[in-house]
Chains A and B, each alone.
Chain A
Amino acid sequence: MNTLELQKEEASTQPEQAQTMTGSQAVIECLLAEGTDTIFGYPGGAIMPIYDALYDYRDKVNHILVRHEQGGIHAGQGYARTSGKVGVVFATSGPGATNLVTGLADAQIDSTPVVCITGQVFAHLLGTDAFQETDVINITTPVTKWNYQVTDACEIPEAIAKAFYIARSGRPGPVLIDITKNAQVQKFNYKGYTPCNHIRSYRPKPNVREEYIERAAELINAAKKPFVLFGQGVILGGAEAEFKAFVEKSGIPSAWTVLGAGALPTGHPLNVGMLGMHGNYGPNVLTNECDVLIAVGMRFDDRVTGRLDKYARQAQVIHLDIDPAEIDKNVQTTVPVWGDCKETLPLLTRLVEKKEHPEWLQKFRDYEQQEIEAVIRKELHPQTGEMTMGEVIDKLNKLTKGDAVIVTDVGQHQMVACRYAKFNQTRSNVTSGGLGTMGFALPAAIGAKFGAPNRTVVAVIGDGGFQMTLQELGTIMQTGIDVKILILNNHFLGMVRQWQELFNDRRYSFVDIESPDFVALAKAYKIDGNSISDRKDLEAALQTMLNHQGSYLLEVTVTKENNVFPMVPQGCSVSEIRLK
């Protein structure tokens, strides 16, 4: 070993001078070493030592006191989605930890990197039904990428280092570290923080195999009607530029999943729209007509594929994904390109021929024209009657020019917002895709704003979903964060009502929901607001909301019984998509 290597060796084994500190102080030191600037959390008995340590670090890290732990983790998710960094969440044991479960499940299915730290009862009390003891590790195992219980302070630096590495690497996901109270108060010799970048049993991404790339390129070059589907993998891999280069060189029409929205600007000439149940007409119908289907960082969710045995049976399928468990899971692949698309896409781009597919692209535009005539025109420009959700989103686009972060809740307004919102930039669409968690939007929007402080953040929420996590108005009030809240009030649990109308003979079973005076409610939280129901007020009201200094709530009353179309009814093939 030469001297240089020796020096390096020493440097890595003795990062800093060892210091005696408590486990709790070490938690904060490790988070700071990871570059954490924001923590969303809620204190309680079993995590009090960590909060006590946090008191000394108030000027180094911004702790956001949420109003419910579910809000905490959704905020952490929103933060991660707009910033690309790992969201950090604190909660106490028992009810604090169980309140995280919905958010963990959401982050797991939507591959969102978050690290949750929960307090736990003293180690000697584990298994005794102690006050606020729940078996958090076992409750959260199915909904975490990894979890770990710390019972000795000495484990803390390594556990946190692994947590961050696992949360953000490979296919990202949520990680939970449960720390018993004795470990939090225990003094130990903190030797500094060494980030983790290797775990022998964990392969975040494979070496790329060129022969697969070559096969994929051959298929693409021979294709007459190639079609690209892209998902959040492009965004998670930071591969937007690589993706755009691939699409532009190959000239292939490209459609997105809900979580992939914005990875390629919505206005791009090769962006042909949204896939899936409420996606665009062309992309759905032509899935069953293309000859080569190229899926990039998406997982063939059933909301995208509809009936699987009638999905793209005629096509050769190329699947680019970082997660080998996704390959062949739902759709049998002809050429699997397993790897990080930031690496695989440029290799593929190099081998594909420069092409245009004008006639094939025209087919998408023809279907789009049919959709405009049957659906879009009357959704965006209704001449009479009450307002539609679509026209609100369309107006919003005109005012934000497609530069805002749009956070949506779950339901009709979500599908409408995803269908009609314009996204010029990546990391602009924050929504609960895989889990469909009502109540996601308000807390996620708070986190999204902390993650992207220089961007306008608009939360589009239904009257139902808003009432699931509206207590987070308190978080807005206390932090003074600037979030625009746009409630599209149809006085119904609209999406369920739509299904009841279409498939249950209009038997409206418990979908009629009453709401409080939203503007008065906002006012109680010192948030300004307005409520409108007349089309002539729409533009000005939206403009006021956007211009307002600080948070603002705008309620827009829309038609009660409007339906989201097109629609691929459950159990139907994508080519059986209905326009009405």
Chain B
Amino acid sequence: METNHKHPEKKEFNITVYTENQIGLLNRIAIIFTRRKINIDSLNTSPSEIEGIHRFNIVIDETEDVVRKLARQIEKQVEVLKVYYNTNDDIIWQEMALYKVPTEAIAEKASVERLLREHGARAVVIRKDYTVFETTGHREETDTLIEVLQPYGLIEFVRSARVAIIKDSEGFNQKLREFEQREPGEEVIENEYLNKRDKVFTM
């Protein structure tokens, strides 16, 4: 996790934040980005697998150095339990998309059905006037289907925020139990970014 100070490169980072379920916290987290004039490309917030704990997935395009500083400033907020940041290589991620197309156009052209199958889309609603398809995948995949459906009179399209699973994470259940203790172990109380620093001990 060394940062290259000479040629800091921006890339997509996925920031995962575990928080208490508290009004106003979304704003408190968002302004940490906006005060540095950083655009949030994607933001998902939803209850986690643990009751009362929320999980944010935030995607931004930045250098690792900046992402690390942001992560620390987020983790500093009173109601934030833990922050992780990962590159796309460290995660499994998906975005879901919905497409609304005139049923007529699809019924007329049998090839559309084949196309949709090829893109792993499935019909969610079929009405006389329109049909809604759903597909899940990476950005390029959901984008491609827009192009495919455009000639058939795509009426409306929407894409969800990104959700991501961290490949080497062991979940948060055990961590949370540690947090609840008054004297938690090093794992929880220590700042992971300090541990990850390569050159902490170079002399």
- Give the B-binding residues of A (Cβ under 8 A): 137-138, 141-142, 145-147, 149, 166, 198-203, 206-207, 209, 215, 218-219, 316, 323-325, 327-329, 334-336, 338
Cα-based distance from A201 to B27 in the complex (angstroms): 17
B72 touches A324 (CB 8 A): yes
- Nearest CB to that of B23 among chain A residues? A149
A206 touches B20 (CB 8 A): no
Give chain A nearest CB distance to B4 CB in angstroms.
Answer: 13
- Nearest CB to that of A316 among chain B residues? B203
Complex contacts, A338 vs chain B, CB 8 Å? 191, 194
Q: Which 10 A-B pairs have the closest CB atoms?
A: A325-B72, A324-B191, A201-B81, A146-B78, A200-B179, A202-B78, A325-B76, A325-B73, A201-B79, A200-B180
Complex contacts, A209 vs chain B, CB 8 Å? 186, 190
Complex contacts, A202 vs chain B, CB 8 Å? 78-79
- Give the A-binding residues of B (Cβ under 8 A): 19-20, 23-24, 27-28, 31, 35, 68-69, 72-73, 75-76, 78-81, 176, 179-180, 182, 186, 189-191, 193-194, 197, 200-203
Cα-based distance from A202 to B191 in the complex (angstroms): 13
A201 touches B200 (CB 8 A): no
Cα-based distance from A198 to B180 in the complex (angstroms): 9
Give chain B nearest CB distance to A286 CB in angstroms.
Answer: 21
A334 touches B203 (CB 8 A): yes
- Chosen A-B contacts, 5 in total, with CB atoms closer than 8 Å, are A201-B179, A202-B78, A327-B72, A335-B201, A336-B200
Complex contacts, A335 vs chain B, CB 8 Å? 200-201
Complex contacts, B19 vs chain A, CB 8 Å? 201
B194 touches A327 (CB 8 A): yes
A138 touches B27 (CB 8 A): yes
Cα-based distance from A202 to B69 in the complex (angstroms): 18
Give chain A nearest CB distance to B52 CB in angstroms.
Answer: 10
Give chain B nearest CB distance to A11 CB in angstroms.
Answer: 18
Complex contacts, A142 vs chain B, CB 8 Å? 31, 35
Give chain A nearest CB distance to B25 CB in angstroms.
Answer: 10
Among A201, A325, A338, find the residue whose CB has the most chain B CB atoms closer than 10 A. A201
Cα-based distance from A323 to B194 in the complex (angstroms): 12
Cα-based distance from A141 to B35 in the complex (angstroms): 12
Complex contacts, A336 vs chain B, CB 8 Å? 194, 200
Cα-based distance from A325 to B193 in the complex (angstroms): 10
Cα-based distance from A160 to B23 in the complex (angstroms): 17
Cα-based distance from A142 to B78 in the complex (angstroms): 13
Give chain A nearest CB distance to B64 CB in angstroms.
Answer: 12
Residue from the list A199, A206, A316 in contact with B78, Cβ < 8 A: A199
B73 touches A201 (CB 8 A): no
Q: Say yes or no: A215-B201 contact (C-beta < 8 A), given A138-B27, A198-B182, A203-B189.
A: yes
Complex contacts, B202 vs chain A, CB 8 Å? 334
Cα-based distance from A159 to B78 in the complex (angstroms): 13
B72 touches A218 (CB 8 A): no
- Nearest CB to that of A330 among chain B residues? B69
- Nearest CB to that of B194 among chain A residues? A336
Complex contacts, B193 vs chain A, CB 8 Å? 324
A324 touches B194 (CB 8 A): yes
Complex contacts, A334 vs chain B, CB 8 Å? 200, 202-203
Cα-based distance from A336 to B31 in the complex (angstroms): 27
Known contacts A206-B189, A209-B190, A215-B201; 10 additional CB pairs below 8 A are A199-B78, A201-B78, A201-B79, A202-B78, A325-B72, A328-B69, A334-B202, A334-B203, A335-B200, A336-B200
Cα-based distance from A316 to B75 in the complex (angstroms): 27
A323 touches B76 (CB 8 A): yes
Residue from the list A147, A200, A207, A324 in contact with B81, Cβ < 8 A: A200
Give chain A nearest CB distance to B201 CB in angstroms.
Answer: 6
Residue from the list B23, B31, B76 in contact with A324, Cβ < 8 A: B76
Complex contacts, B201 vs chain A, CB 8 Å? 215, 335
B80 touches A201 (CB 8 A): yes
Cα-based distance from A138 to B201 in the complex (angstroms): 42
Complex contacts, B27 vs chain A, CB 8 Å? 138, 141
Cα-based distance from A206 to B195 in the complex (angstroms): 14
A325 touches B69 (CB 8 A): yes
Cα-based distance from A207 to B194 in the complex (angstroms): 14
A145 touches B81 (CB 8 A): no
A145 touches B78 (CB 8 A): yes
Cα-based distance from A405 to B78 in the complex (angstroms): 33
- Nearest CB to that of A211 among chain B residues? B201
A141 touches B78 (CB 8 A): no
B200 touches A137 (CB 8 A): no
Among B176, B194, B202, find the residue whose CB has the most chain A CB atoms closer than 10 A. B194
Cα-based distance from A493 to B47 in the complex (angstroms): 54
- Nearest CB to that of B188 among chain A residues? A203
Complex contacts, B69 vs chain A, CB 8 Å? 325, 328-329
Cα-based distance from A149 to B203 in the complex (angstroms): 49
Cα-based distance from A327 to B69 in the complex (angstroms): 9
- Nearest CB to that of B35 among chain A residues? A142
Among A142, A166, A200, A219, find the residue whose CB has the most chain B CB atoms closer than 10 A. A200
Complex contacts, A201 vs chain B, CB 8 Å? 19-20, 78-81, 179
Residue from the list B24, B72, B186, B200 in contact with A207, Cβ < 8 A: B186
Cα-based distance from A203 to B180 in the complex (angstroms): 11
Give chain B nearest CB distance to A476 CB in angstroms.
Answer: 36
